[in-house]
Structure 1
Amino acid sequence: MRHNPVFDLTDPDEIRRLIGENPWATIVSPTSNGLVASHYPVLVDDTRDELAIVSHVGRPDERLHEWGEHEVLVIIQGPHGYISPGWYDPSPAVPTWNFVTAHLYGVPEMLPTDENLRVLEQLVDHFEDPMPEPRRMRGTLENSAYADRISAGTVGFRLPVTRFTAKLKMSQNRDEATQRRIVSELEGSGPYASPELAREVRLANPEVFGA
């Protein structure tokens, strides 16, 4: 990503929040056969003090990615959207795009079968918890047997993040009046309205919108 200190995101806790709220990740590997990309949900590994993520891939993705042989790039994309120059003042302006994204780097560690099952259960629970009647991977004997069969086709992994680069571009370089107009438009009913993006603009500019 282009270096711009105004928009640099360096707080690991904010990266954890970004992953927690936007768990659908793109995994890119520079393999001996060229670039390979896959898409999987990921979770922050809360058992580690350092930043790490866990998930699984479906076989044979672990071989296609040459898992464990080299560093991989995991891309996390948060809320993003078009910002019209009509939301600025009347002087000449060009449109832009607000976004938050993180690039995580590390070498994946493949998990043993029992830990893979635990991570799969965590993934299911994470997404089922908000449901009115959550379905658990091992909620019944029938489910448990089915989960054991399905999990055999997956490979769990942990990615200790050795480094990351992240950008949070949420109109921090605009004056207060412009920031307020942008939030108003994003919270409105226009073609580029986005409450999620408006929330991020608010969070990124606490001196204007409060902590």
Structure 2
Amino acid sequence: MYIPKMNALAEMDDILAFIDRFSFGILISTSSGRVIGTHIPMLANNDAEQLKLHTHIALANPQWKDIEGQEVLVIFTEPHAYISPTNYIKEESVPTWNYMAVHLYGHVSILHETDQIADVMRRTMVKYEPTYYEKWLELPTDFKQRMLKGIVTFEVAVTEVQGKAKLSQNKSQEEIHHIIQDLHASSLASDSLLAEYMERYARKEH
């Protein structure tokens, strides 16, 4: 990912928080010489020194068949918005797009042990709907086993982390203020969310 120095999202605490909040990522690998991707929820172990991701895909999804040992790319991205040049002081300005994204590179290992698979499923349910996990525990064992046999679970051992926060850092404080106001006035929830991140990182820099 192209990351100008001013746009670098470098603090691991920020990156881990971003992954946790926007955990529906894109897993990109290759199969038969072709690049393929799957949109799936990801769980991070939140260990900055040995970061690992855990996830699962459907057994019917052929992406898993060639993925063992591959270096893959996982992309997390969410708040983004069009930025109008009307927010700038200079008339000779052009539109742009502000956004945040995290790219993780790593190597894949398919999990085969029943307890490993069950743990990933437990963590997934507890994260997204803990009350359902309590119900899951009470479901018949044969049903749960059938469901688990229909998925492939794996781990991504992260080898490289890239974080980017393109938040108008090259603009004046007055212009950033105008952009934030414009985004908050938008009817799009994602615009307001981006404005919140702009406010947060503007405070960090001053």
Identity across matched positions, percent: 26
Gaps of 5+ in 1: none
Instruction: Provide the rounded CA distance (Å) in 1 between the counterparts of 2:151 and 2:67.
Output: 13
- CA-atom RMSD, angstroms? 2.4
Q: 1:191: Cα distance to partner?
A: 6.6
CA distance in 1 between partners of 2:120 and 2:62 (Å): 16
Letter in 2 for 1:205: A
Matches within 5 A, 1:48-67: 49-61=49-61, 64=64, 66-67=66-67
Shift of 1:190: 5.4
Deviation at 1:200, TM superposition (A): 1.0
1:158 and 1:24 map into 2 onto residues whose CA distance is: 15
How many residues are matched?
Answer: 205
The Cα of 1:61 is off from its aligned counterpart by 3.5
> If the length of structure 1 is used for normalisation, what is the TM-score?
0.86
Q: Normalization by structure 2: what TM-score?
A: 0.88
Contact 2:102 / 2:164 at 8 angstroms: preserved in 1? Answer: yes
Q: Which 5+ residue runs of structure 2 have no aligned equivalent?
A: none
Deviates more, 1:142-151 or 1:30-39: 142-151
Query: 2-side partners of 1:53 and 1:34: how far apart?
Result: 23
User: Relative to structure 1, is the Cα distance of residues 207 and 3 closer, same or farther in structure 2, using a 3 angstrom cutoff?
Assistant: closer
Instruction: Tell me which residue corresponds to 1:161.
Output: 158
Greater share of helix residues, 1 or 2? 2
Amino acid at match of 1:156: T
Name the CA shift for 1:71/1:147 in 2 (closer, same or farther; >3 Å): same
The letter of the residue matching 2:156 is: L
Please state how far the C-alpha of 1:187 moved relative to its aligned partner. Answer: 1.1
1:146-203: CA deviation from partner (whole Å, max 9, x where unpaired): 3322111111111111012221101111111111111111111457972211111112
Alignment partner of 1:14: what SS?
helix
| 1:143–1:81 CA distance, 2 compared to 1 (3 A) | farther
Divergent runs of 4+, >6 A: none
Q: Give 1:47 shift.
A: 6.7
Would you say the 8 A contact 2:30–2:67 is kept in 1? no
